[in-house]
Each structure stands twice: as structure tokens, then as C-alpha cells.
Amino acid sequence: MYEIKESSTNQLNKAIAINRCPVTFTLDKIGGRWKALIIYHLIDGPRRYGALKKSLPAITEKMLIQQLKELEADDLLTREVKPVVPPHVTYQLTESGQALAPVLKAMAEWGFTYNTSISESSGVCVMEG
């Protein structure tokens, strides 16, 4: 990977935008291809790692782990490890993560309305490889 120069003008502008604009702040937390989908799949309750991976077949192991760590660091989900062999890892939305449910459902409705290639019967947010 590469190192981010924290003192760059771009990074300073990004920090200002995130701290002053609630939309930018939200997009920083759930933006990208996978975070919103992971949250969406956790809305109905806790899920094990394997179930999340199965619901997002196009995501790589590395990317799923990275995105889960970022969501945990942003306090949008919690990770519970049960001390058994093999490890039993469960992910669950925090209160702030659960508060995103109406936002993500509204985004799905908007997508169904304005993307004519999506049908509501095809299932929501299951991305094939």
C-alpha cells in the first residue's frame, strides 16, 4: 500500500469537508462498494462471517475483512469471538449502525425507481461475481 501524506492540501480539505458536512461524514463512513451492503445484510440481526461472505459472493476475503475492520473502527458494528475451535465470529450492528437502516432502505428504493435494469424480485444487494 501507499502512505497518505496527512499534511497535503487534499487531506486537509477532506478533513474539513467531513467535519463540516453531515452528508460527507456519512459517505465517508459507509461509502464505497461494500460497506453499505455489509450493513444492509446486518440490519435484520447478527450474522457469522461465513454468512456475510455467502451473501456477498463477489467480495474477496481480504476486502471483506478490511471493510469489517473499518466498520468496527467507526463503531458501526461489533465483532464477537467465541472461544471455540474453530473460532465462532459474529458481527452485529451497533446502535449507530442500526440507525442507518432507514437510510439504506431509502437508497434501495431510489435505486429500484431510477435504475431500470434492477427488478425488485431479483433480491436486494446480492452482488454476483
Domain assignments of the chain as residue spans, ordered by start: 34-114
Q: State the pLDDT at residue 39.
A: 96
**pLDDT value for 41:** 94
Low-confidence stretches of the chain (pLDDT beneath 50): 127-129
pTM of the predicted protein model: 0.79
- pLDDT computed for residue 15 by the predictor: 66
- 1-24 tens-digit pLDDT: 566 666 777 767 666 766 677 888
Q: Please return the burial class of 81, using the count of CB atoms within 10 Å of its CB with bins 0-12, 13-18 and 19+.
A: exposed
34-114 CATH choice from 1.10.10.10, 3.65.10.10, 1.10.10.1200, 1.20.1730.10: 1.10.10.10
pLDDT at 117: 81
The answer for 45, left when phi > 0, alpha when psi is -120 to 50, beta otherwise, is left
Q: What is the reported pLDDT for 87?
A: 84
The per-residue pLDDT for 25 is 83
Q: Where are the beta strands (DSSP E) in the chain?
A: 47-48, 77-82, 88-93
What pLDDT does 120 receive? 58
